Chains A and B, each alone.
Chain A
Amino acid sequence: MTIIQQIISISIAAIANFLTRVFPFLIFDHNKNGSDEISPFIEGLGKFLPPAIMGMLVVYCFRNVNFLSGTHGLPDIIATVITVLIHLWRRNMCLSLLVGTVSYILLVNFIF
């Protein structure tokens, strides 16, 4: 690929990626009848989706973990359980992230 072709490829990716983010603002930001309100269906969808997306992203983080062979995902499972328990106990986000991540680092480097 020439450098011009590389620049074109990167530009296409940058514009397309921005489009996926800006598109809802271009098409849903006003009603068909010209009022300034967002349609109730879209507004409701925007409220319904975020908890589901949170769950989706948690699953997404585990997409590369192989539960069937190797360590069977044990470091991930153990660190997740630790993170959840610490968070239920203290409800301190910084503490939960710190303990969860440090235990994962220790698990993958020294135990598994």
Chain B
Amino acid sequence: MSTKGGEFRFAFRQSIPVLFGYIALGLGYGLYMHNLGFSFIYPTLMALTIYGGSVEFVIANMLIQHFQPLNVLLVTLVVGFRQFFYALSMLKQYRRAGWRKWLLIFGLTDETFVLNYYSTVPKGYDRTQVQLWITLLDWFYWVLGAFLGGFLGSILHLQIEGLDFVMTALFIVLALDQFLKEDSHISSFSGIAITIICLLSFGKTYFLVVTLLLLVLEYYLLTKRRQKGAQK
């Protein structure tokens, strides 16, 4: 039985929350660039090539200042730092995906990562194919949102305030599902606690970087302790 269409339909259903979230956020981003004085080509092409919401907002702002390529590089690496750990967690799932691997890696945004990492597919479906469709759909939603925001610009007043909460709700629900089925809550609790502490102490720009480094340190110490325990 061919499941080609089935995989696409399944992926589409999984991606619906991101559809609403990315259109809402993408509209906001396109509108933001429009208000900075850019043609719709800019947000559309940046959404297509950079494909990272938080990076694009910062770069949009840097484009209206004087030319500072080194700063662009550093800022992108700092803001995109967390994606390194998404890729690290996806290493095992994606490494054997052949040519599809590169698209899957390119599309590793926050939302696509959480959808794809925890995805379970019906029997007979190719999981990698479902993940690829989810990746491509999410990418498309983001580009579409950015295009619409930039193109319609000030004509558009149908922005619904609060629609972007769908993304927060998506993370809450996925975190809750994960929390309910895991044996040990140490990782979940650490993630929440360390992020709150880092947000309060380091501020909005660097807290994710520090959080992730501390989580790696925590894992290192945990494995060390476990090894010591095993030797005794």
Contact = CB atoms under 8 A, between A and B. Distances in A.
Interface of A: 1-2, 5-6, 8-14, 16-25, 28-29, 38, 41-64, 75-76, 79-80, 83-84, 87-88, 93-94, 96-97, 100-101, 104-105, 107-109
B16 interface: yes
Interface string B135-167: 000000000000000000000000011110111
A80 B168 contact: yes
Contacts of A42: 88, 91
Nearest to B55: A17
Tell me what chain B mostly uses at the interface: helix, strand, loop, or mixed.
helix
A20 B196 contact: no
Contacts of B108: 21
18 contacts: A6-B63, A10-B50, A12-B69, A13-B72, A14-B50, A22-B102, A28-B91, A46-B91, A50-B178, A54-B174, A54-B188, A56-B82, A56-B211, A56-B212, A59-B199, A60-B208, A100-B165, A105-B162
A104 B161 CA distance: 9
B173 A87 contact: yes
Contact of A21 (B84, B170, B177): B84
B91 A9 contact: no
A74 B215 CA distance: 30
Interface in B181-217: 182, 185, 187-192, 194-196, 199, 204, 207-208, 211-212, 215-216
B114 A54 contact: yes
Most central of A38, A44, A47, A54 by chain B CB within 10 Å: A54
Contacts of A63: 199, 204, 207
Interface of B: 16-17, 20, 45-46, 49-52, 55-56, 59, 62-67, 69, 72-73, 76-77, 80-92, 94-95, 101-102, 105-106, 108, 110, 113-114, 117-118, 160-163, 165-179, 182, 185, 187-192, 194-196, 199, 204, 207-208, 211-212, 215-216, 219-220, 222-223
A23 B20 CA distance: 30
B208 A56 contact: yes
B114 A21 contact: no
B91 A55 contact: no
A95 to B, nearest CB: 10
A105 B173 contact: no
A13 B167 contact: no
Contacts of A53: 82, 85-86, 89, 113-114, 191
A22 B82 CA distance: 12
A107 B169 CA distance: 15
Given A51-B188, A57-B114, A17 B52 contact: yes
Most central of B64, B168, B222 by chain A CB within 10 Å: B168
